[in-house]
A = this chain, B = another copy of it.
Amino acid sequence: MSEADALVVFTPSGKRGRFPRGTQLLQAARTLGVDVDSVCGGRALCGRCQVLVMEGDFPKHGVSSHADHLSPLSAVEQAYSERRPLPAGHRLSCSTQIQGDLVIDVPASSQVHRQVVRKAADARPITLNPLVHLHYVEVAEPDMHDPSGDLQRLLVALNKEWNFGPLRADLPVLQKLQAALRKGEWRVTVAVHAGTQLIGVWPGFHDRVYGEVAASSGAMNPQIRFGEDLMSRVSYAMMHPGGAQQMTDAVRGALNALAADVAREAQIEVTDILELTVVGNPIMHHLLLGIDPTELGGAPFALATDSALGLHASELGLQLHPGARVYTLPCIAGHVGADTAGMILSERPDLSEKLTLLVDVGTNAEIVLGNSERLLACSSPTGPAFEGAQISSGQRAAPGAIERVRIDRDTLEAKFKVIGSNLWSNQPGFDEAVAATGVTGICGSGIIEVIAEMYLAGIITQDGVIDGELAKRSDRIVQTGRTYAYTVHRGTPVLQITQNDVRAIQLAKAALRAGVALLMEHIGVDHVDRIRLAGAFGSHIDVKYAMVLGMIPDCDLFNVSSAGNAAGTGARIALLDSDSRKTIEQLVRRVEKIETAIEPKFQAHFVAAMGLPHSTEPYTQLRKVVTLPAAKPPATRAGSSARSRRRAGG
């Protein structure tokens, strides 16, 4: 290194060094350990090594234009930019030589391990570090003087450029290799999985890798037709010969359809999909794997396996790339599945000293409580009431469903909003706005709100009874048999909250709350620092009302938020950042599993949690936001039926 060498500074890393003039810019970056991507190995094909040339400001040289300090646009760069225009100031670092002092910015899109920013402000970014990498290589042609297999020459070329260890090839790669090499004139792109296995080969240069969510799609749980909840699905498997296989086929068929959907949306072929990560509850997990879920239907709720699995997509009947791999996140216990593992990976409660409560409310509630010291998890049998099932006017979240409700504390009149409109029902134009769908029912978050509002308006007592006395004050309170109901909507159909509806919600929230209480008790705390509500229900619920009902423990409302589709985010993290797989596999081993079915105190917590809100806690935070009715001792009479509904979720 001499004084005559040029100084090159890379941003944002700040790494710097002096290089002889004529040094290839990509080589200089690599020498300094600057993270610059390249699929094509410096052949000006992939454009991944693009850098932005910044104005240099080097007093020693006085005013200088960066143009002088770099070699002029080369023929290969020219050819590249004709195919894909280079933005102003961008150069291909593989085809550019250093001619003088420079400041070079490596944009995020050119970094191998770039970070993917997640939407939520409080979410950690995901480091892009996928398990599957594409590599373009030029392979030596066969030579009769030194015969060797095409695969062996490919491996020599790969190892020379990318320095792998021993590599093996999938059989379909072997089957396609010779044709691909000859079609690509001894240039191919290969997909390497985990640095050890060739899983795909294409003639010439092939560049299809996604670091962002290129497309997303969803489907109703295809098991619905086999039963509304977990237990009825397991029953289906037990009662119908071949029933488990039917459900397996349904799950796999749904995944194939979703894969086709997202491929279409992203304008790629479904055979361009090289990896898939999967989360799901234990039943779904086992069904996808083709494992009969019968054992999960009864004590001791034994999983076939709780480990993470790496499989071939073809083993699961998934029609992606022939070499595509599937990674399933680990399960935790018989009722705490890979979806909970995904939630933990997304939320990482172990990274903070603050005690975080994670709740994913579906037909079962998965509950995780912990911090950097301990992690506990359980599942609680809430049943499907929170999703609108088993509620007289309940329905799934869809246009026409009531999702927001307010009840006037004096007149006891209700106003509401339905999905698909932003107007309150008492605002002008509401009827026209909902004319297309009508007002068809009340979705889960609407049910929470209306019952919480009924409680706050004094329509429901602390032990959950609709106060018939109020029928004298408002015709919205009506007698139905020996109990009363509250009319939310007077249209067609009439939408009411009945005494049974209140009881169903009380049972569900008591189950949820008992699970939370159990974990808090195990850790020995009477409050949590932070609450994250995951899943579709957790995303739509107004956390204030969840707290009014006592679904969640007392906590500063500022620290209660939705975690969105946390399980799905966990799957996405596992897909994009392969190191995270080891993380979650190790993390789940630390999780202390609490089986609510055999915890002697679960029943007591359940009974104690029947009241509105949870009767033994101050809810100091909540009082800042709403005016709670005066506390009375909790009712206990509804608790006894809880055990008979045990494990009705799924």
Q: State the A residues within 8 Å of B (CB).
A: 141-152, 169, 171, 174-175, 177-179, 289-292, 294-295, 299-307, 309, 311, 315, 331, 333-334, 593, 595, 597-598
- How far is A178 from B148 in the complex, measured between Cα atoms in Å? 46
- How far is A94 from B311 in the complex, measured between Cα atoms in Å? 39
Q: Is A144 within 8 A of B595, CB to CB?
A: yes
Chain B residues with Cβ below 8 Å from A595 are 144-145, 147
A144-B597 contact given A175-B290, A302-B150, CB 8 Å threshold: yes
- How far is A178 from B304 in the complex, measured between Cα atoms in Å? 6
In the complex, how many angstroms separate the beta carbon of A646 from the nearest chain B beta carbon?
Answer: 13
In the complex, how many angstroms separate the beta carbon of A326 from the nearest chain B beta carbon?
Answer: 10
Chain B residues with Cβ below 8 Å from A175 are 289-292, 304
Q: Is B299 within 8 A of A144, CB to CB?
A: yes
Chain B, Cβ-Cβ closest to A334? B147
Chain B residues with Cβ below 8 Å from A597 are 144
Chain B residues with Cβ below 8 Å from A171 are 289-290, 309, 311, 315
Q: Is A306 within 8 A of B152, CB to CB?
A: yes
Q: Is B315 within 8 A of A149, CB to CB?
A: no
A142-B331 contact given A147-B593, A289-B174, CB 8 Å threshold: no
In the complex, how many angstroms separate the beta carbon of A220 from the nearest chain B beta carbon?
Answer: 26
In this complex, the member of A148, A178, A598 whose beta carbon has the largest number of chain B beta carbons within 10 angstroms is A178
Q: Is A304 within 8 A of B151, CB to CB?
A: yes
Chain B residues with Cβ below 8 Å from A302 are 142, 147, 149-150, 178
In the complex, how many angstroms separate the beta carbon of A460 from the nearest chain B beta carbon?
Answer: 36
A147-B301 contact given A171-B315, A175-B291, A311-B171, CB 8 Å threshold: yes
In the complex, how many angstroms separate the beta carbon of A418 from the nearest chain B beta carbon?
Answer: 42
A300-B143 contact given A171-B289, A291-B174, CB 8 Å threshold: yes
Chain B residues with Cβ below 8 Å from A291 are 174-175, 178
Chain B residues with Cβ below 8 Å from A300 are 141-144, 147
- How far is A547 from B267 in the complex, measured between Cα atoms in Å? 69
The contact sample of 14 A-B pairs, CB cut-off 8 A, is A144-B334, A145-B595, A147-B301, A147-B334, A150-B303, A150-B304, A151-B307, A152-B306, A152-B307, A174-B305, A175-B292, A178-B294, A178-B302, A178-B304
In the complex, how many angstroms separate the beta carbon of A419 from the nearest chain B beta carbon?
Answer: 38
> Which of these, B147, B177, B179, B306, contacts A149 with CB under 8 Å?
B306
- How far is A145 from B600 in the complex, measured between Cα atoms in Å? 12
Give the oligomeric copy count. Answer: 2
- How far is A333 from B290 in the complex, measured between Cα atoms in Å? 42
Chain B residues with Cβ below 8 Å from A334 are 144, 147
Chain B, Cβ-Cβ closest to A291? B175
- Interchain residue pairs A-B with the least CB separation, the first 7: A142-B302, A151-B305, A149-B306, A147-B333, A149-B303, A149-B305, A142-B300
Chain B residues with Cβ below 8 Å from A331 are 149
- How far is A625 from B300 in the complex, measured between Cα atoms in Å? 82
In the complex, how many angstroms separate the beta carbon of A25 from the nearest chain B beta carbon?
Answer: 37
> Which of these, B169, B178, B333, contacts A292 with CB under 8 Å?
B178
Chain B residues with Cβ below 8 Å from A141 are 300
- How far is A178 from B144 in the complex, measured between Cα atoms in Å? 54
- How far is A23 from B169 in the complex, measured between Cα atoms in Å? 50
In the complex, how many angstroms separate the beta carbon of A402 from the nearest chain B beta carbon?
Answer: 39
- How far is A152 from B307 in the complex, measured between Cα atoms in Å? 8
Further contacts, 13 of them, CB under 8 A, given A144-B597, A147-B595: A142-B300, A148-B306, A149-B305, A150-B302, A151-B304, A174-B289, A174-B304, A175-B290, A175-B304, A177-B304, A178-B291, A178-B304, A179-B292
A598-B145 contact given A171-B290, A174-B289, A289-B174, CB 8 Å threshold: yes
- How far is A289 from B174 in the complex, measured between Cα atoms in Å? 8
- How far is A475 from B39 in the complex, measured between Cα atoms in Å? 79
- How far is A290 from B174 in the complex, measured between Cα atoms in Å? 9
Chain B residues with Cβ below 8 Å from A152 are 305-307
In the complex, how many angstroms separate the beta carbon of A248 from the nearest chain B beta carbon?
Answer: 10
- How far is A295 from B333 in the complex, measured between Cα atoms in Å? 53
- How far is A291 from B178 in the complex, measured between Cα atoms in Å? 9
Chain B residues with Cβ below 8 Å from A305 are 149-152, 169, 174, 177
- How far is A305 from B148 in the complex, measured between Cα atoms in Å? 8
- How far is A304 from B153 in the complex, measured between Cα atoms in Å? 10
Chain B, Cβ-Cβ closest to A331? B149
Chain B, Cβ-Cβ closest to A244? B175
Q: Is A144 within 8 A of B301, CB to CB?
A: yes
- How far is A331 from B178 in the complex, measured between Cα atoms in Å? 16
In the complex, how many angstroms separate the beta carbon of A306 from the nearest chain B beta carbon?
Answer: 4
Chain B residues with Cβ below 8 Å from A311 are 171
- How far is A311 from B142 in the complex, measured between Cα atoms in Å? 25
- How far is A593 from B142 in the complex, measured between Cα atoms in Å? 14
In the complex, how many angstroms separate the beta carbon of A421 from the nearest chain B beta carbon?
Answer: 46
- How far is A21 from B331 in the complex, measured between Cα atoms in Å? 49
- How far is A312 from B304 in the complex, measured between Cα atoms in Å? 22
- How far is A149 from B303 in the complex, measured between Cα atoms in Å? 5
In the complex, how many angstroms separate the beta carbon of A236 from the nearest chain B beta carbon?
Answer: 17
- How far is A572 from B135 in the complex, measured between Cα atoms in Å? 39
- How far is A179 from B169 in the complex, measured between Cα atoms in Å? 34
- How far is A141 from B301 in the complex, measured between Cα atoms in Å? 11
Chain B residues with Cβ below 8 Å from A593 are 146-147
